[in-house]
Amino acid sequence: MDKDKKTKVEECDCEDCKCENGKCSCENCECEECKCEECDCEDCKCKDCECTCDKTEECQECEELKKKLETEKNKNLATLADFVNYRKRSDKEKSELSIVANQILLQQIIEIIDDFDRALNEENITKEGIELIYKKFTNVLNQYSLEEIKVKKGDKFNPETMEAVTAIHTQNEKEKGTVMDILSKGYLNKNNGQVYKTAKVITGK
What is the DSSP code (8-state) at residue 103?
A: H
Overall average pLDDT of the 61-88 stretch: 86
For 132, the enclosing helix (H) or strand (E) is helix 127-143
pLDDT value of residue 9: 39
Given pLDDT bands bounded at 50, 70 and 90, which one contains residue 89? confident
Spatial distance between the Cα atoms of 8 and 96, rounded to a whole number of angstroms:
83
pLDDT value of residue 106: 86
Q: Which CATH class is domain 146-205?
A: mainly beta
Spatial distance between the Cα atoms of 60 and 71, rounded to a whole number of angstroms:
17
Q: What is the mean pLDDT of the chain?
A: 76
pLDDT value of residue 11: 46
pLDDT value of residue 8: 40
Of 45 and 60, more confident: 60
Instruction: Convert the pLDDT of each residue in 30-52 to its tens digit.
Output: 444 444 444 454 444 444 444 44
Residue limits of CATH 2.30.22.10 in the chain:
146-205
Quote the strand ranges of the chain, DSSP E: 19-20, 23-24, 28-31, 36-42, 45-46, 146-148, 162-168, 179-184, 187-189, 195-197, 199-204
Task: Please say whether the beta carbons of 186 and 161 come within 8 A.
Answer: yes
